Amino acid sequence: MHRAASENTLSSYRADLKQFFEYFDKEKKGTITISTLTEERVTGFLDHLSSEKISLRSIQRKISTLRALFRFFKVKGYASASPLEKIKTPRMEHQLPEVFSIEEVESLIRAPDPKNALGARDLAMLEIMYSCGLRVTEMLDLVLGSIQWEDGSLLVKGKRDKERWVPMGKFAREALKNYVEETRSVLMKGRYHDFVFVNQRGLRLTRQGFWKILKGYAARLQFRKDMHPHILRHSFASHMLERGADLRSIQELLGHTDIATTQIYTRVSSTKLREDYDKFHPRAKVVSAHKEVR
233 as an active site residue: the answer is yes
- Other CB atoms within 10 Å distance of the CB of residue 53: 6
- Select which of 157, 230, 267, 272 is catalytic: 230
Dist. CA 196–CA 204, nearest whole Å: 8
Q: Which residues contact 230 (CB under 8 A, 6 or more apart)?
A: 97, 135, 136
Distance, in Å, from the CA atom of 217 to the CA atom of 267, rounded to the nearest integer, reads 28
Active site residue 135: yes
Marked catalytic residue, from 135, 173, 184, 234: 135
Could you say which of 157, 164, 177, 256 is catalytic? Answer: 256
* Dihedral, 142, 146, 148, 149 alpha carbons, nearest 10: 50
Residue of 121, 184, 233, 239 with catalytic role: 233
DSSP state letters, 200-243: TTSSBPPHHHHHHHHHHHHHHTT--S---TTHHHHHHHHHHHHT
For residue 191, indicate whether it is catalytic: no
Alpha-carbon separation of residue 269 from 168, 234, 242, 276, 285 (angstroms): 23, 11, 6, 10, 21
Residue 280: half-sphere exposure toward Cβ, Cα within 13 Å: 6
Residue 23: active-site member: no
Known catalytic residue at 159 = yes
Catalytic residue among 18, 29, 159, 225: 159
- The single-letter code of the amino acid at 101 is S
The residues carrying an active-site annotation are: 135, 159, 230, 233, 256, 265
